[in-house]
Amino acid sequence: MENVNQIKKNLYKLAKVQLGFYPTPCHRLDRLSKRLGVEIYLKREDLSGFTPFGGNKIRKLEYLLGDALEQGCDHVVTFGATQSNHAMQTVAACRKYGLIPILFLNRVVHGDNELRANLLLDNIMGAEIHITDSREESEVAAKIRGQELEAAGHTCYSIPSGGASPVGSTGFVNAFLELSEQLLQNNIKADYLFHATGSGGTLSGLLAGKKVLGASTKIVSVAVGSKDAEYPPKILQLSTDTLKRIGSDIPLTEDDLTIDHGFFLPGYEIPNEESSAAIRLLAETEGILLDPVYTGKAFSGLLHGIQSGEIPKGSTVIFLHTGGSLALFAEKEILGKWLT
């Protein structure tokens, strides 16, 4: 366990803008907990603000835009799929702080360049939008656009997909510290923390926060897309760099990671029956909406853990609701046949 007060001081010194409303709520799912025999709490990052749609990208963007403004940038470039939550939240945050947002988005499903859900909001907020057929094409196009802007005297700040960088991940060190304080105040000991993982920025920050506190809570990261053998080392490096940024040199190993690859098929942004059932269960039991791309798949992983006995009866589980419910209004290929 590190000197937590010193870490908090280090966090306070970092460049940051104000976007979210904190602390985000953490509350018990009363009816579902009773039904399943496990204490389930929801950490509501979907209510983080500052737009009506919230989500986990807000905490990352506070540090990312703080860094961009500190460097004197006037344009922000970022990447994602056409229905990217991260891209939409980046546009909103840029508008709040007077930066010009430029999006390079790649198609994942047929017809996903139609103006609906996140892409519609990107358009309403006046983002410069470029749509390509692959991430590689987006990166090439972004490099060319950046050179054009620099030649015209502008300075661009590039944010990777999902805000997955040591700067962005710092936001989820804060999130873990905040959650731990909420649990302590309410005398709750969390055995597990479940969340969806994609680009890895949230996971890296949560892991860094856990190590700083020396917490025993097991973080279970449910992958929402295919991950190769390079993914765990990438996460460890990102988390290590995040720790260094806040003044910590705690070592990390792959034993610190629990990444579940069992619930993303048939692929990213493609729903499955189990995740759709998980969305319906939470909606019908608690009146809370998940999304088919991220939280639905992660919650199906949590339910499987309970039903299989991997999570023992009487355990206490935190589920990190990372937002994204706008995907319920996206293309039918993203929503799937089980929810319509």
Write down the catalytic residue from 84, 161, 169, 276. 84
Residue 50 and residue 73: Cα distance in Å, rounded? 22
Query: Which DSSP string corresponds to 205-244?
Result: HHHHHHHHHT--PEEEEEESS---TTHHHHHHHHHHHHHH
Render the burial of 13-42: b for 16+ CB within 10 Å, e for the rest.
eeebbebbeebbebebbeebbeebebbbbb
Residue 219 and residue 21: Cα distance in Å, rounded? 24
Task: Please tell me what DSSP assigns to residue 24.
Answer: P
Whole-number Cα distances in Å, 316 to 37, 89, 304, 327: 10, 31, 15, 29
84 is catalytic: yes
- Give the number of other CB atoms < 10 A from CB of residue 155: 13
Question: Could you list the active site residues?
Answer: 84
